[in-house]
Amino acid sequence: MSGVGKMRPIRASAVGHPEITIVVSPVRERPGRYTAGLEGDDRVPVASSRQPFLDSARKLIERGYDPEAVMVMRYAGSDTKSLRSKVGVAARLTVDEHNGTRFANWKPLSRSAGAPGIAPNKHAATTLASDAIERAANERSGRR
């Protein structure tokens, strides 16, 4: 029986660590994206990803897993192992889709790579909206 909630025997990997199995399932509402969870663990370390194996490796590192441990990935409902890597190696990779589909070095997003900041304004947006509503109401009632 293969299910995320079922416990399986732990197998030793080539480096003497237990093999970590990541089980991925497609996100129905978002084609091309997957959820990923640890086999035998109901928690979902990755809720939605285009690269669930690599994102799971980074989550495992965050949770204190040994970077030398071997992780494998399989799709829910299948016993076939699709990918295998040391956790630390997979955590350092991303998929580069801009230059063909290939592996590339992963870099965490910097603050400057996010959305541009909003210029300061002395009026909060909610204040401006309330003022506009009040002006419109006054114009309808004939007051200025």
pLDDT tens digits, 14-41: 456 679 999 999 999 999 999 999 998 8
Q: Does 63 reside within a domain?
A: yes
- Residue of higher predicted confidence among 127 and 109: 109
- Residue of higher predicted confidence among 44 and 6: 44
pLDDT for the residue 105: 77
Q: Does 9 reside within a domain?
A: no
Q: Does 6 reside within a domain?
A: no
d(CA 46, CA 119): 34
d(CA 122, CA 124): 7
Kindly indicate the confidence band of residue 132, based on its pLDDT and cuts at 50, 70 and 90.
low
Q: Does 75 reside within a domain?
A: yes
Total structural domains within the chain:
1
Query: What domain range is 89 assigned to?
Result: 20-110
Q: Does 1 reside within a domain?
A: no
Token code pair at residue 15: 């480096």
Kindly indicate the confidence band of residue 106, based on its pLDDT and cuts at 50, 70 and 90.
confident
pLDDT(12) > 50: no
Q: Which residue has the tokens 């309330």?
A: 130
Mean pLDDT across the chain: 76
